[in-house]
Amino acid sequence: MRRARLGPIAIALAVLGAAVPAAAPLRAGGGADDDKPKVPQDDCNPRSPTTPLTVVYEPYWCPLCIEEKLQKPEARDLQMMQKPVAKVAEQLSIKKEDWIAIQTPHYKIFSTLGPTTSKYNDSVYARFDLDRLKKIQPGIAFGPEGAKLTAHQRLHLYHIRLERQYAHFSALTNNTQPNLGMPGIFEIYLFADYTQHHDFVDRYIGGRNDKGGVQWHIQDKPNFLLLSVAESIVAQQVARGDGALANHVFHNTAHLLIDGYNNYFRETPAWIEEGLGHYYERRENTRWNNFCWAEGKPPTDFTKPDWEAIIFTLVRRDRDSPFAQWCEKLQPGELTGIENGLSWSIVKWLIDTEPIRFTKILEPMDDLQRNLKPAELIQDAFGCSSSVLYQRWREYVLKEYAGK
């Protein structure tokens, strides 16, 4: 039986910066020196950084869009948890008017989230996501700092965000299989209140620490992966606002995507899984970082958002633990605090400089006949030991992170 993974709680690392002007020229990738998101260009293909990323967010099905005449009528008995979604809401004692569920090209999403203001500085891609949202929700209006969204519009913003993340991961791994190879579509549960999240986990998963996001593998055919999160947990332990919750969702969804890659048959090496979680949250905004470690507490060494400077100091002073000692770990919770940050840097380095070879590390993971260990996956993809690859990364850090 697949063990539940306690998803991380985002750690608030700085107050919100100033809003990005709507007319500003945009440039991609990461947080600025003053801890504000750099102004991005739209998301790009990780295998060809000058090529815009193709994001497929249609066709989708939404009963409220049909009711508001934004979609053509289509009768559909949406199933989640392998039963009518209305039954799920009933079993959780959630009133009909308090939930919405939709299906997108790669996800089924259930939400009890309320209205919000989506701010331009929540993510380097926020303005572009809102522009995409306006194509399917033309009623939204842009203000000087962002857009006020109804609960319905907010759900579709997560629709856009999640499909953009899926498109990026699919392009990175060159995986065009339906659902990345999983028999069933991914399911996302966005609860406003911890009680709803707790009741869901208690009823359908059971006996788990649910003080954060919970991922689970439903093994009944067609098997699928799900994520459940609660906004109130993030609001209590991190900060109010949609940006922190979005980073929490991006990190946890990265775990779903890599675990679902080529169907779920094995555990993903922890440095890859956690590295991808940090990669997908930090490319949005560096202010809220998530850890599947010590029940979501931030490691002492990574309490600031400027991870490059922290990692440079660790490497320069030889305080980074040798990769061979921890690359074989299979559970993100087994990584130390420092190893969390190092995993992010190694994964980002590989995606930025060797995206095709990075994918070659992933491809044999599901070959049960070869059954390669994590260090053997590196040897197979790069033709060198994990120690040699790590030394190359250290040289890169000392050259590229200096002065950051």
Q: With cut-offs at 50, 70 and 90, classify the pLDDT of residue 29.
A: very low
- pLDDT tens digits for 65-111? 999 999 999 999 999 999 999 999 999 999 999 999 999 999 999 99
According to the model, what pLDDT value does residue 183 have?
95
CA atoms of 146 and 128, how far apart (whole Å): 12
Mean pLDDT, residues 158-167: 98
According to the model, what pLDDT value does residue 295 have?
52
According to the model, what pLDDT value does residue 209 have?
73
Q: With cut-offs at 50, 70 and 90, classify the pLDDT of residue 384.
A: very high
Mean pLDDT, residues 337-362: 96
**Cis peptide bond N-terminal to 59, omega within 30:** yes
- What's the sign of the alpha-carbon dihedral 336, 162, 284, 28? positive
CA atoms of 39 and 173, how far apart (whole Å): 26
Averaged pLDDT of the chain: 88
> Of 44-48, 85-89, 273-277, 289-293, where does mean pLDDT reach its minimum?
289-293
Residue 13 has pLDDT above 70, yes or no: no
Mean pLDDT, residues 357-369: 93
18 compared with 76, residue with greater pLDDT: 76
Domain enclosing residue 155, as ranges: 5-400
According to the model, what pLDDT value does residue 39 have?
53
- pLDDT tens digits for 292-307? 754 556 677 888 899 9
Q: Which residues of 342-367 are buried (b: 16+ CB within 10 A; e: fewer)?
A: bbbbbbbbbbeebbeebbebbbebee
Residue 28 has pLDDT above 80, yes or no: no
Tokens of 105: 């090209």
Contacts of 336 (CB under 8 A, 6+ apart): 293, 299, 321, 326
Residue 52 has pLDDT above 60, yes or no: yes
10 close to 234: Cβ distance less than 8 angstroms: yes
Residue found under tokens 């100091």: 313
Domain count, the chain: 1
The neighbouring-strand residues paired with 288 are: 12
Mean pLDDT, residues 156-180: 97
According to the model, what pLDDT value does residue 36 have?
52
Residue 404 has pLDDT above 80, yes or no: no
- pLDDT tens digits for 115-146? 999 999 999 999 999 999 999 999 999 999 99
171 close to 53: Cβ distance less than 8 angstroms: yes
CA atoms of 187 and 227, how far apart (whole Å): 6
What is the bridge-based pairing of β-strands 224-230 and 186-191? parallel
Count of beta carbons in the 10 Å neighbourhood of residue 77: 8
Mean pLDDT, residues 166-175: 98
**What is the CB-side half-sphere exposure of residue 21 using CA atoms within 13 A?**
3
According to the model, what pLDDT value does residue 3 have?
43
Residue 1 has pLDDT above 90, yes or no: no
Looking at the chain, the whole-number percentage of residues with pLDDT higher than 70 is 88
